[in-house]
Amino acid sequence: MAEVLVENITKTFGKMTALDNVSMDFPDGGFFALLGPSGSGKTTLLRTIAGFILADSGHIRIGGTNVETVPVEKRDIGMMFQNYALFPNMTVADNVGFGLRVRKVGAVEEKRRVGEALELVQLSHLGHRKPGELSGGQRQRVALARAFVTNPRVLLLDEPLSALDKALRVDMQIELKRIQREIGITTIFVTHDQDEALTLSDKIGILKDGKMVQSGAPREVYDNPANIFAAEFLGEANVLQGTREGGGLRLADGRMIQLPGSAGGAEAIAIRPENLSISLTEPTEPGIGSLQGEMVQRVFAGAVTTCVVQAAGRRMKSVALDRHLPQVPEGTPVWLTWEVDRLTPIAKG
């Protein structure tokens, strides 16, 4: 186990800058998600940490040591990639034990450690099977056991759950988190699934066009997104832009929004759908902001309902328990209301 430090890493492929001065620290024993749209540099960063890609500049430190000149096999890293190819002719136990045989740990030690790893992924009863005789989720757990059985300092997982259907994926997320907690290994996980990043990780790094847009604990990033991209990428956000006038924001249609004291010079705000309420009358209480709009759609989804309201020239979303939202037909004039302190000032980027 070890802390991983990525410092000012830049990597270009020809004219393409895949990583642009990226820094992030991954404290010892934590579970970290690298999140970002396709092509944002997630895999490149993971492969640079692993040692498959040599950065043009910057440093990677593992456990305090610079590893730039350390080859992949000496970095003591366990890996599981999207196409986690298992050896089809080997049993589950032999697949898991592969890295131990390469390290020549001896048959007795191999048996013991494979046994422990299979127990952790709850596959002790299937050690004798071949990969072709397993379900997708079971194969994934074999690949995971194979990645951590050598007791590496760091575990790198590149979209490890992407091949699974939604239900199995959610089960595996819970499993993965349990296993990571039990072995306490520093784990860096690439995903483009925001929910997965929010549920699993202690810290998230959001990449866009090779740049680290923001990193921090899920709640911190969710509650205080650095800019419009981070606000809209991690969860749903209603974003309003304007120009500053005193303590408020003047929207393009001339309406003023009162900003919280913490707004600084921000020219945009984000408000999460769960912080927007809908009222049939204009609120007058102090500390409550509002915008008049028109109900466009009401989408019932079991536990919660989403209302789409056209206001300030855009579609705003409000999410709440169904009974907390007015039952009005589409086209009805409504007020979107919020607590001013719930507005998050953000940068325009």
When the beta carbons of 18 and 206 are compared against ligand ATP, the nearer one is 18
Binding residues for ligand ATP (CB under 6 A): 13, 16, 18, 36, 38-44, 192
Question: How many degrees, rounded to 5, is the angle at CA 225 between CA 222 and CA 230?
Answer: 95
The 3-state secondary structure of the chain, one letter per residue = CCCEEEEEEEEEECCEEEEEEEEEEECCCCEEEEECCCCCCHHHHHHHHHCCCCCCEEEEEECCEECCCCCHHHCCEEEECCCCCCCCCCCHHHHHHHHHHHCCCCHHHHHHHHHHHHHHCCCHHHCCCCHHHCCHHHHHHHHHHHHHCCCCCEEEEECCCCCCCHHHHHHHHHHHHHHHHHHCCEEEEEECCHHHHHHHCCEEEEEECCEEEEEECHHHHHHCCCEHHHHHHCCCCEEEEEEEECCEEEECCCCEEECCHHHCCCCEEEECHHHCEEECCCCCCCCEEEEEEEEEEEEEECCEEEEEEEECCEEEEEEECHHHCCCCCCCCEEEEEEEHHHCEEEECC
Task: Pick between residue 99 and residue 210 the one whose CB is nearest to ligand ATP.
Answer: 210
Cβ closest to ligand ATP, residue 44 vs residue 337: 44
Which of residues 15 and 104 has its CB atom nearest to ligand ATP in the complex? 15
Q: How far is the CB of 135 from ligand ATP (least distance, A)?
A: 25
Q: What is the nearest approach in angstroms of ligand ATP to the Cβ of residue 9?
A: 12
- Shortest Å distance, C-beta 146 to ligand ATP: 22
CB of 61 to ligand ATP, least distance (A): 21
Minimum Å distance from CB 194 to ligand ATP? 13
Closer residue to ligand ATP (CB): 20 or 116 = 20
Q: What is the distance between the alpha carbons of residues 68 and 180, in angstroms, rounded to a whole number?
A: 26
Minimum distance of ligand ATP from residue 170's CB (angstroms): 20
Indicate the residue among 4 and 325 with the shorter CB distance to ligand ATP: 4
Q: Nearer Cβ to ligand ATP, position 44 or 180? A: 44
Nearest approach in angstroms of CB 158 to ligand ATP is 8
**What minimum distance in Å lies between the beta carbon of 16 and ligand ATP?**
5
| Cα–Cα distances in angstroms (integers) from residue 159 to residues 72, 144, 177, in the given order | 20, 12, 14
Q: Which is nearer to ligand ATP, 44 or 277 (CB)?
A: 44
Sign of CA dihedral 89, 91, 95, 98: negative
